[in-house]
Amino acid sequence: MTAVMNESRQFTPELLEEVNRIVSLFPEGKQKSALIRVLHLAQAHFGYLDTEAMDYVARLLHLNPIEVYEVATFYSMYDTKPVGKVKLEVCRTGPCMIEGAEPIIAHIEKRLGIKDGETTADGLFTLKSVECLGACGYAPMLQAGESFHEHLTEEKVDALIEEYRANPVANYMGLK
């Protein structure tokens, strides 16, 4: 039984064009290679990857749903559960830790009233500590959407939170 999909649960024509462009980067019949990037698009568009979103991507790329599920659950950037509009991903690995990542995480927890991994009640922010993001010389740092925010201080974090509160578009990783 295939339910009729809600229109908001489909890609826009612009996104479908982008999918075609991504698929065209690979040889005929190797469209599975486009999966990881198309899942980024799907997550940005749908907010997170539920079964319906993954099945939609499977149909787009002519894959079995299981091929999409196993990828979506392997990579740490994909969310298979709802998250806030803005994900604050703070690097917690060695070089960031010794430059003060832990106090930054504690400050955000206090500031937003949530623990690591949780989402604020208004659905605006998710805090997530993550492994090395390749900014070790500019520690401590966090990623929000496609942006890296480096050399963090508590003041900078406060300003950032206010900025995203006013304009919460940071989670659109994968969309131009």
Partner 1 sequence: MSKKLLLEHIDVEGIRSYDVYRKQGGYQAVEKALKGMSSDDVVEEVKKSGLRGRGGAGFPTGMKWSFLAKPDGVPRHLLCNADESEPGTFKDRYLMEKIPHLLIEGMILSSYALGANQSYIYIRGEYMFVMRIVEQAIAEAYANGWLGKNILGSGFDLDLAITPGAGAYICGEETALIESLEGKRGNPRMKPPFPAVKGLWQRPTVVNNVETIAAVVPIIQHGGDAYAAIGIGRSTGTKLISAGGNINKPGVYEIELGLPVEEFIYSEEYCGGIKNGKRLKALIPGGSSVPVLPHYLICKTAAGEPRLMSYESLADGGFATGSMLGSGGFIVYDEDQCMVRNTWNFSRFYHHESCGQCSPCREGTGWMEKVLHRIEEGHGTMEDIDLLWDIQRKIEGNTICPLGDAAAWPVASAIRHFREEFEWHINEPKLSQERNYGLVTEKTFDAQPA
Q: Which stretch binds partner 1 (CB under 8 A): 7-15, 95-103, 110-118, 152-160?
A: 95-103
Supply 52's token pair: 């319906």
The secondary structure element, H or E, covering residue 126 is strand 125-130
Smallest distance, Å, CB 127 to partner 1? 17
- x/- map, 127-156, partner 1, by CB under 8 A: ---xxxxxxxxxx---x--xxx--------
The rounded distance, in Å, linking the Cα atoms of 141 and 109 is 15
- x/- map, 12-41, partner 1, by CB under 8 A: -------------xxx--x-xxxxxx-xx-
Supply 135's token pair: 């900014």
- Interface size with partner 1, residues (CB under 8 A): 45
Smallest distance, Å, CB 61 to partner 1? 8
Supply 99's token pair: 């430059």
Residue 86: strand, helix, or coil: strand
Smallest distance, Å, CB 59 to partner 1? 15
- Please, which residue, 62 or 113, has the CB nearer to partner 1? 62
Q: Which amino acid is at 72?
A: A
Give the distance, in angstroms, between the CA of residue 84 and the centroid of all CA atoms in the same chain.
10
Smallest distance, Å, CB 87 to partner 1? 12
Does position 62 interact with partner 1 (CB under 8 A)? The reply is no
Q: Which residues bind partner 1 (CB under 8 A)?
A: 25-27, 30, 32-37, 39-40, 63, 67, 70-71, 74-78, 92-95, 97-99, 130-139, 143, 146-148, 173-174, 176
